[in-house]
Structure 1
């Protein structure tokens, strides 16, 4: 800047030149980030979504020379149609969107009301998906346009994994790399053992169990799986899942043979975290367990992996192998328990900013 600039070119306040572009600053942004959902259930919409998801090197670590032909010549030729039919069974037809999008939007709206009561209009809340829409980059830009020069990123994953929390943050960092004036960024940490989270999950489960017309002999706590190789490379996800399960079991006061852990949604030929959910459900039914419930505390919102994979596929596995009564207990979603967790995390991480 020219130190000899004509004083007449400055505003009366002397703060900036008359021709200086308008810059909005001084506000705080909160961006909730979840995994994603296709825009529709047709073949091409599913293909676009799956290609973005399965091309992520955080999700699939197989060398590209091997994975590229498998993905493009096999997976993307067969999987979109099948997954599209699965999504059809859970699709929110009123809004024409996947339930994950509906619920994440509702979580952001509730958080907006909460923060307005706490900090007035100083804080803006938005939400984005790592895969699909709304995209992370444009939503960060939208917060900047509102004058948010400090932004809290909130990956909606209680347990950290490179394939979930890290890749969501990667996408935010890619957007930041394109910005001349970057906002100050905070990232909320995983909350797998946070007492507020554990209490909310257990309280929600107790209420849902009280509504059943049977008492489960076994409760199965199912987490999304990842390849075992990721654990061996140092990913903390497995350990955090096990700790969540242990704290839940201790809160219930049930023995391990009645309160079990498993991992779902394996993909491909490699070994994933064990025990596998579908095999565990089948084994329970075959071992004369007649009544069971299943819950997925690693998901902050119900989605394909819970509403279709757990409540439909695994229900069928249990009933077809001798089981009689099966219940899927919903995720926290935008319930009061669920929002209690999200509000707690955001309030804590905004300390010093508001």
Structure 2
């Protein structure tokens, strides 16, 4: 037991336990039942979800997962575990780092149980989403709050008497360390190529346009991230663009669409594009299949050469990225950590 230790929860959305329809179905059910993700009234949405979507989509999604599944398991979970281990090693014994997924295991409640079993009473929740969105960051904030309170919902039964102190890390879409970590990753990727790309696509996960129009700042933060990264890379405006991927359902989503963009590149005279997803910091289905497999097919459909499209990996557990996360944690722990408090006190005039 180390009561002075500060808990850190690396928060992610989640992933199925296996690449099978049986495993994908409960994951999708939890994910698509969250009204921050799909905000339709349950009386309308739940019959559609249970009666149609969960009868057909799990089989299709399972086939996609099978194509990217790693020997150690789900790519998102494997890379998230690597991020957890690297951050723990860098922060040292004054912190205890756990992984908390909003819609799968290891869940947020499990992360809190591990920390509290170690005597931790102060916890920093670090969403692995650089850009704030009500569909990701807010969902994680909510899941962490319920887990801390010992509830399953706002009106659920209270199961805990003691609630730990919580601090939530805010969006860091424009943080210099985050931009620098992506810059280093892309520079290494480009140096390893036989020929430099002639165009760059920065693809972010999309959200319905209606969400943005009613207050979600996500698209603006994506635009700022893209601008800062392009500036750091020295790209002129005609050499890059921003796009949004992963459209779901009949609503209009923020654009331009990554899928449409990939189909149009060859017709615009672009032969060697590179695509990178700044908002997804951990390789997962959306990067390994939607971009690297389906995206390549779309590029070919538009007349491009499949071998000429490069897809950069996510930040995953690269050193610059983990160092940046450690800095975020240390900043959030100000006033909590005894060494920080002692150092601050020693600087005060007598």
TM-score (norm: length of structure 1) = 0.90
Task: For 2:108 and 2:296, locate their aligned partners in 1 and report how far apart those are by CA, in whole Å.
Answer: 35
Count, aligned residues: 326
Alpha-carbon contact 1:38-1:45 (below 8 Å) kept = yes
Task: For 2:8 and 2:323, locate their aligned partners in 1 and report how far apart those are by CA, in whole Å.
Answer: 16
Alpha-carbon contact 2:262-2:302 (below 8 Å) kept = no
Does residue 182 of structure 2 align to residue 201 of structure 1?
A: yes
2:345 aligns to what?
none
Alpha-carbon contact 2:90-2:323 (below 8 Å) kept = no
Offset at residue 24 of structure 1 (A): 6.7
Does residue 336 of structure 2 align to residue 353 of structure 1?
A: yes
Alpha-carbon contact 1:24-1:145 (below 8 Å) kept = no
1:250-289 superposed matches below 5 A = 250-289=231-270
1:78 aligns to what?
56
1:338 aligns to what?
321
Task: For 1:62 and 1:212, locate their aligned partners in 2 and report how far apart those are by CA, in whole Å.
Answer: 46
The SS at the match of 1:193 is coil
TM-score (norm: length of structure 2) = 0.91
1:23-34 superposed matches below 5 A = 25-34=3-12
Which of 77, 98, 119 aligns to 1:147? It is 119
The SS at the match of 1:86 is helix
Offset at residue 266 of structure 1 (A): 0.4
The SS at the match of 1:162 is coil
Task: For 2:314 and 2:321, locate their aligned partners in 1 and report how far apart those are by CA, in whole Å.
Answer: 8
Task: For 1:291 and 1:336, locate their aligned partners in 2 and report how far apart those are by CA, in whole Å.
Answer: 28
Offset at residue 150 of structure 1 (A): 0.4
Task: For 1:67 and 1:310, locate their aligned partners in 2 and report how far apart those are by CA, in whole Å.
Answer: 29
Superimposed CA distance per residue, residues 31-77 of structure 1 (whole angstroms, 9 cap, x where no aligned partner): 11111000011111111111011001000012222211211111111
Alpha-carbon contact 1:191-1:197 (below 8 Å) kept = yes
Task: For 1:76 and 1:55, locate their aligned partners in 2 and report how far apart those are by CA, in whole Å.
Answer: 11
Task: For 1:341 and 1:323, locate their aligned partners in 2 and report how far apart those are by CA, in whole Å.
Answer: 37
Task: For 2:315 and 2:4, locate their aligned partners in 1 and report how far apart those are by CA, in whole Å.
Answer: 33
Task: For 1:226 and 1:298, locate their aligned partners in 2 and report how far apart those are by CA, in whole Å.
Answer: 13
1:6 aligns to what?
none
Offset at residue 164 of structure 1 (A): 0.3
1:160 aligns to what?
132
Does residue 6 of structure 2 align to residue 45 of structure 1?
A: no
- Bigger radius of gyration, 1 or 2? 1
Alpha-carbon contact 1:288-1:323 (below 8 Å) kept = no
Which of 10, 14, 20 aligns to 1:36? It is 14
